[in-house]
Structure 1
């Protein structure tokens, strides 16, 4: 079930963390027991987001990733989500009836950050890459979206999570430095193909300079009936933020709009060429599908299993 050092007898662990032993997915016992664990929690959970999925089943010459992903997906059944965390180009690890999609840091988060970063933003790392966040204009951002999307099947692309931040990264409000840029980023997240994923608290405009800072707890108690001399509610600033950005309440309307717009539904982002403007003083930033004849559809990859 595990990997052992023949010289010392010690077991291998992820990054040397001994509470996280490295599983040997070549073991039939590992496959049997891990699938049982995953299925045990379906019902309370809608599926699984697999941490560090790019390392699953891989060690030295061993590479069981695709067969493991396909095994887990088959065991979980058609109603459960199976999403791979991947901080880089995930395209070689997708399809083949394995992971439904990835956390799309490479094809969405990174280009959005580089375009909409605030002028005063000063972070030490760019999602793990030392040196801060580079600057990219709107057309370069669009080219990056297209380049990454071109390597994915349509199925994997639309099931991938389009995220602006996460528990492992700075908050998007810290990256953009303003409400206006943050709202533009949220607009891209809501209208481009893919599955929007919102990190709890970012809808309030919370800030954080790294993953640990971004996990700082915040008030979530629901409003209650005020008593004598007791406002009994969340702070005014938080209430205002809740009213401005409540994605769950707006989700049905957003989903209906996505279905009505052919460009959004079919993944056609050609209009962004015409609609992108540099965000800044005196300029409007928007993404809109410009009128044009439909583009010819490319043949999509078939999963061969």
Structure 2
């Protein structure tokens, strides 16, 4: 039953971010082909969540194909949930419409309104570029880790040549020497690519290249920053480099300059916060006795209460990893310390623009602890920098956390990475298994995306980070091979053999046209391959890009330009308008423009009739803004709300409807 529509963009909901007590107006679109109809909004405040109130809607306006109804109410509580009931008077039938669409064979999924929940305007649809610093660009050889500089996790660390590739078993002890000066020197490149926000993997002091095992939250790692004080004595070298106050201050100053230079180019900076655990080198544990008062060797240490201990005097490791001591959020002093760390980095002189929170739903030992702490963290951070963003890594519905205002949004696995990967390749995001039944399964894709979007209030939808690759999962290019495996049993070369460039490009188009903020992981723009960690962290091959890689780079630049020139892709209404098997058509629109994205994953040409009447368009012309292959539209005109097109095999095309 196509055509019924509502969402939480400014036409269908205003104000979009209401405060308690505000008069809220909601609208509903009902197609005229359904006959004489009446709409009702059904809503429930948080305090009476099971007692829905009904309120009739009045006709706001009508158009060629639709009636638009509206109603209003005062925001009665901190959280309000609502859906719609449509009475088809000519058919003596009623229809329920909720956040996933027309209700059929499932329970109701309400729209959610959260009083006072404001999100940063700059973050709505911003173009991200994720940088894993050690593997991006080495501009300062003096701060490189050296062979045998220290032992980590039972073995010595290794400095590798830039042109070599990660070892399957030694990724957390291998360094390539990438640094923040390298990012500074590549800002022209990033600006030319179209990047609007840099998201850094962790950059605080840490013994690993990935730095998810924090040693010191208060300073930038001198191996990424500046090393002034040093020694040739390998028994002291690491301690001198990472604890020298001169090195730490100089490194912090370099990061401050980097943020300032980014801001001059109107590029935002988001950093990674790893707060569910620290690292075993951290001064609170101090496995290497770098600081002298750690809890591992001193039972009277004030930091002992920051961890969980068993009867053998062993601390609990996150997921059993000894290098990752689990933090105990039963301690209010830890709460204050971590929140003040956030405040420090979003405030002057550093002024970063926000945080990505690592595995944030895994922080405490209970949901109550998690949400209580993150609410505290959120309030401290927003008070220090109201325009900062906080988004979380989570692999399930974030709605319970968002309703409590713990975060602004999420890494959008549930709406972007997972559904796209399955629809285009059938591959799980680590390349760990293939699900052939999900390949070219548009029904599954549509339902998965609708559910994912239903779990995000509208202001969270626009700032959710859409990615196809990142530091935790296989590279998108490697998933297009449709091979199951990881580095070790498989070789580096197998990560690219059999890759499907058409599918790769289709995935990028989908990532940029689904609701959210599109995010490239460094090297995605040249089609860098890689199995999951550690192979997904290959050094960027500056000056050694393949001809194909440079062609993908130009493709990506052009795609970003199209995206940035579109107001509806960045922030607009969204709905699926047609789909069958391996073919999809979905639309993004607002008052200024209407965009249709068509995806044909089939291995053959498909002939389709695009129902443009679903965009309230009767006649006019279409314009191809971008396509992965040449599409012959015969003529640009359409009539009676429909347009027939032939879409080549394995093609994605973005069309503007005028």
Normalising by the smaller structure, the TM-score range is: 0.7 to 0.9
The match for 2:403 is: 95
Of Structure 1 and Structure 2, which has the larger fraction of its residues in helix? 1
Which of 43, 52, 65 is the aligned partner of 2:370?
65
Of Structure 1 and Structure 2, which has the larger fraction of its residues in strand? 2
Is the alpha carbon distance of 1:75 and 1:179 closer, same or farther for their aligned partners in structure 2, counting shifts above 3 Å? same
Contact 1:269-1:289 at 8 Å conserved across structures: no
Deviations 1:170-224 (A, max 9, x none): 1111212322112211111111211111111111111112131111112236xxx
Between 273-282 and 197-206, report the one with greater CA deviation. 273-282
The match for 2:339 is: 35
**TM-score computed with the length of structure 2 as normaliser:** 0.38
For residue 291 of structure 1, give the secondary structure of its aligned residue in structure 2.
helix
For residue 22 of structure 1, give the secondary structure of its aligned residue in structure 2.
coil
Which of 431, 452, 472 is the aligned partner of 1:168?
472
For residue 87 of structure 1, give the secondary structure of its aligned residue in structure 2.
coil
* In the alignment, structure 1 residue 240 sits paired with structure 2 residue 544: no
For residue 152 of structure 1, give the secondary structure of its aligned residue in structure 2.
coil
The match for 1:216 is: 538
The match for 1:81 is: 389
How far does residue 53 in structure 1 lie from its aligned partner after superposition? 1.1
The match for 1:149 is: 453
Contact 1:70-1:96 at 8 Å conserved across structures: yes
- Asked which structure has the greater CA Rg, the reply is 2
Alignment partners' CA distance in 1, 2:575 and 2:330: 42
Is the alpha carbon distance of 1:267 and 1:182 closer, same or farther for their aligned partners in structure 2, counting shifts above 3 Å? farther
Contact 1:142-1:272 at 8 Å conserved across structures: no
For residue 469 of structure 2, give the secondary structure of its aligned residue in structure 1.
coil
Alignment partners' CA distance in 1, 2:404 and 2:565: 31
How far does residue 63 in structure 1 lie from its aligned partner after superposition? 3.3
Which of 198, 201, 211 is the aligned partner of 2:520?
198
The match for 2:494 is: none
The match for 1:297 is: none
The match for 1:226 is: none
Contact 1:87-1:105 at 8 Å conserved across structures: yes
Structure with more relative contact order (C-alpha pairs < 8 Å, separation 6 or more): 1
Alignment partners' CA distance in 2, 1:216 and 1:285: 41
Is the alpha carbon distance of 1:220 and 1:277 closer, same or farther for their aligned partners in structure 2, counting shifts above 3 Å? closer
Unaligned runs of 5+ in 1: 222-232, 295-305
* In the alignment, structure 1 residue 54 sits paired with structure 2 residue 361: yes
Alignment partners' CA distance in 1, 2:607 and 2:513: 14
Contact 2:416-2:514 at 8 Å conserved across structures: no
Alignment partners' CA distance in 1, 2:502 and 2:431: 26
The number of residues matched between the two structures is 269
* In the alignment, structure 1 residue 255 sits paired with structure 2 residue 561: no
Alignment partners' CA distance in 2, 1:129 and 1:236: 26
Is the alpha carbon distance of 1:54 and 1:140 closer, same or farther for their aligned partners in structure 2, counting shifts above 3 Å? same
The match for 1:132 is: 434
How far does residue 55 in structure 1 lie from its aligned partner after superposition? 0.3
How far does residue 84 in structure 1 lie from its aligned partner after superposition? 0.7
Is the alpha carbon distance of 1:18 and 1:285 closer, same or farther for their aligned partners in structure 2, counting shifts above 3 Å? farther
The match for 1:20 is: 324
How far does residue 117 in structure 1 lie from its aligned partner after superposition? 0.4
Deviations 1:88-145 (A, max 9, x none): 3333333322111111112221111111007xxxx7xx24695334442123211110
**TM-score computed with the length of structure 1 as normaliser:** 0.76
Unaligned runs of 5+ in 2: 1-304, 481-498, 586-597, 617-658
Is the alpha carbon distance of 1:97 and 1:252 closer, same or farther for their aligned partners in structure 2, counting shifts above 3 Å? farther
How far does residue 51 in structure 1 lie from its aligned partner after superposition? 1.0
